[in-house]
Amino acid sequence: MSEPAPLTDGELFEDLTPGPLDHAIVGREIRIYAETGSTNDLAMTYGGHGTVYVADRQHGGRGRLGRTWHSAPGLGLWFTVALERYADGLTFAAALAVRDALRDRAESKIKWPNDVYINGRKVCGILTERRDDRVAVGIGLNVHHAESDFPEELRQTATSLSRECPGPWRRGAVLAAVLTALDGYVAALYGDAFDRVRDEWAAACNVEGRTVNWEGSVGRAEEIDAAGALVIRFNGDSRKVVSGTVEFLD
């Protein structure tokens, strides 16, 4: 794939200058584009340990479980952190970093496994992809959307920062805050702090004792295990769930 043309004007560009952040790893280089297929593909193709690929619009934005991620221009932060070394827990770190970055202005919650919700609606999704040692930690965060900016089928379940919390929100400022928090978590994971990051993420998911619907079966969440799987009790049998769609009913 050829690298898209860089974005050189507009709100996102202005917001993101002066550019690279004085971080240990994440955000030491930031590349901003007007449009691309998926920033995860850019990260997988071009790599760079800690390089962040940001696009104002994605025409092939991907979500988990093969879903499409709606990535319209001007509305959100669609970005991917490329890493050249895998560590367990990177997806947990991304969810915690988004929560932390919003903390002063919004009470967000992590929904197992890695969505971020505000007031019961999804504001952010994370898609981590890996090939050998190359990792793409992709984050989609809805910022400026009004309800009508979402496709009809998402209007009851998706939201944006501007809808839930008083603005104004500046995408560059939010991105910088996420990258600062993520840099700390990533450095911790490379430094063997998986258990601490996992525990913090598991506590933030707040699953214990809640009634869940997993792929049509209703059970009670018992815990998140050491590897991050959700343990659900269905009629006397406990089952470890690592992916799929989980709906929390209480």
Residue 61 within binding range of ligand BTN, rule CB under 6 A: yes
Chain residue at closest Cβ approach to ligand BTN: 125
* Alpha carbon 10 to its chain's center: 24
Q: Which of 26, 56, 80, 181 binds ligand BTN (CB under 6 A)?
A: 80
Residue closer to ligand BTN (CB basis): 121 or 196:
121
Q: Which of 56, 100, 115, 149 binds ligand BTN (CB under 6 A)?
A: 115
Residue closer to ligand BTN (CB basis): 26 or 139:
139
Tell me how many residues contact ligand BTN (CB under 6 A).
Answer: 21
Stretch that binds ligand BTN, among 7-15, 134-142, 212-220, 231-239 (CB under 6 A): 134-142
Residue 78 within binding range of ligand BTN, rule CB under 6 A: yes
- Which neighbouring-strand residues pair with 6? 33
Stretch that binds ligand BTN, among 78-86, 87-95, 164-172, 204-212 (CB under 6 A): 78-86
Q: What is the Cα–Cα distance from 87 to 95, expressed in whole angstroms?
A: 15
Dihedral sign for Cα 7, 53, 55, 17, please: negative
Least distance CB 139 / ligand BTN (angstroms): 6
Least distance CB 119 / ligand BTN (angstroms): 17
Residues in contact with 178: Cβ distance below 8 Å, sequence separation at least 6, in sequence order: 77, 97, 98, 101, 139, 141
Burial class (CB in 10 A: 0-12, 13-18, 19+), 232: buried
Q: How many CB atoms lie within 10 A of CB 168?
A: 7
Least distance CB 58 / ligand BTN (angstroms): 6
Task: Annotate each residue in 18-57 with x if it binds ligand BTN (CB under 6 A) or - if it does not, as one string.
Answer: --------------------xxx-----------------
Residue closer to ligand BTN (CB basis): 56 or 115:
115
Which amino acid is it at 71?
Answer: S
Q: How many angstroms separate the most distant Cα atoms in the chain?
A: 59
DSSP calls for 27-83: TSSEEEEEEES-HHHHHHHH--TT-EEEEEEESS-B-GGG-B----TTTEEEEEEEE
Q: Which of 20, 47, 48, 63 binds ligand BTN (CB under 6 A)?
A: 63
* Alpha carbon 199 to its chain's center: 18
Least distance CB 158 / ligand BTN (angstroms): 10
Task: Annotate each residue in 138-157 with x if it binds ligand BTN (CB under 6 A) or - if it does not, as one string.
Answer: xxx-----------------
Which amino acid is it at 131?
Answer: R
Contacts with ligand BTN by CB under 6 A lie at: 38-40, 58, 61-64, 67, 69, 71, 78-80, 115, 125-127, 138-140
